Amino acid sequence: MIQPIQYNEKQFIIINDMTHSLFYFFDFDERASQVNMEFEHFHSYYEIHILLSPNAIHFLEGVPYPIESHDFVLLPPSLLHKSCYPEKEPSKRLIITFMYPENALGFRDSYNDLLSPFYSDTRIYRFPEKQLGILTDLINQMVNLAFQDQPERAFSTQELSGTKELVLHSLFIRFLYCLNQFQDSNIYEKNEITDKVTERIYSVSNYIHTHYREDMTLDELARESYMSPYYLSHQFKRITGYTLTQYIQWVRVRNCQFLLLNTAEKVTDIALECGFSSFSHFNRVFRKFCNESPSEYRKNHAGEGQHVSGSKSPATPPGISTDS
């Protein structure tokens, strides 16, 4: 019988933070439907989302994926995503965020291979009992290592150092190795949407995510979805809660935000790269959505970038979002 992942609410494990080139952050917590994110967001680091409640929905670049308890959602840096939790009781989940230095501790090719599941076409993994048991056991070993001297674990933060952080790193590398080796055992199958209109709308939203750099018109999107422009506009707002223009602008702004925090590119170049036809239009749209200019955003949110310093409370390392 599989040992479930040991869960204690508001339990955190920390090794370093985003001011370092290597960090880990384990976040055991609950999320209620009332705090479901309004729009998809990105991270500058790797994230593993493990649902510990019966069900939820995870959006990846505009497409909804139903997930179940102990499904693994693997998110590479810059991928737009959000979680939507069901109503009634809050949903338990474990989120593991981490980042490795650019030189991968001298093992670049090996680390690239370990991280390959994050870049596969399928980023949601559901494993048979045998493989799942190995993965959950490794997670529990890491949790026990961190809290072995703490009999009362709930509402507790453990910042590891010394040999403990080295051992946890070794266990996590083993965990990633197993994820890599178990890729072919993935039994996750996305449930088909029976409502054909909804299916088409989510295809349009995904098209926007993958073509946001290009000019997009309502007529073009209508042709792609085999709908009339009027019907597409109406159904898109009904299903997503956004107008087509709002959705396109949000996707472009989100991708601009990532480049502002993680590159040294000029703001004007970023605007053009993300599909804005002019800098003045970009500046106006960005300020409308973010309540600050692109330059102000780059300065004020520097700590959320992959290689930039910042500071938050000890329970939330710099740049870490706990909204998933």
- Per residue in 208-252, pLDDT (tens digit) is 999 999 999 999 999 989 999 999 999 999 999 999 999 999 999
Mean pLDDT (whole number) for 17-31: 87
Question: Which pLDDT score, from 0 to 100, does residue 153 have?
Answer: 60
For the stretch 144-158, pLDDT in tens is: 999 987 766 666 889
Measured in whole angstroms, the distance separating CA 23 from the mean position of its chain's CA atoms is 16
Question: Which pLDDT score, from 0 to 100, does residue 314 have?
Answer: 34
Q: What is the DSSP string of 169-200?
A: HHHHHHHHHHHHHTGGG----PPPPS-HHHHH
pLDDT > 70: what percent of the chain?
91
Question: Is the confidence at residue 313, as pLDDT, over 50?
Answer: no
Question: Which pLDDT score, from 0 to 100, does residue 321 have?
Answer: 57
Token code pair at residue 118? 């994050």
CA 69 to each of CA 4, 55, 63: distance values in angstroms, whole numbers, following the listed order: 10, 6, 20
Q: What is the mean pLDDT of the chain?
A: 88
Question: Is the confidence at residue 51, as pLDDT, over 90?
Answer: yes
**CA torsion angle 286 291 296 298 (round to 10):** -60
Question: Which pLDDT score, from 0 to 100, does residue 39 have?
Answer: 86
Question: Is the confidence at residue 309, as pLDDT, over 70?
Answer: no
Separation CA 121–CA 190 (nearest Å): 12
Helix (H), strand (E) at residue 214? none
Mean pLDDT (whole number) for 201-207: 95
Question: Which pLDDT score, from 0 to 100, does residue 148 have?
Answer: 84
Query: Tokens 């993958």 map to which residue?
Result: 210
Token code pair at residue 225? 């979805």
Comparing 87-91, 134-138, 166-170, 313-317, which segment has the lowest mean pLDDT? 313-317
Question: Which pLDDT score, from 0 to 100, does residue 292 have?
Answer: 95
Question: Is the confidence at residue 21, as pLDDT, over 90?
Answer: no
Mean pLDDT (whole number) for 170-180: 97
Radius of gyration of the chain (CA): 20
Mean pLDDT (whole number) for 205-210: 96
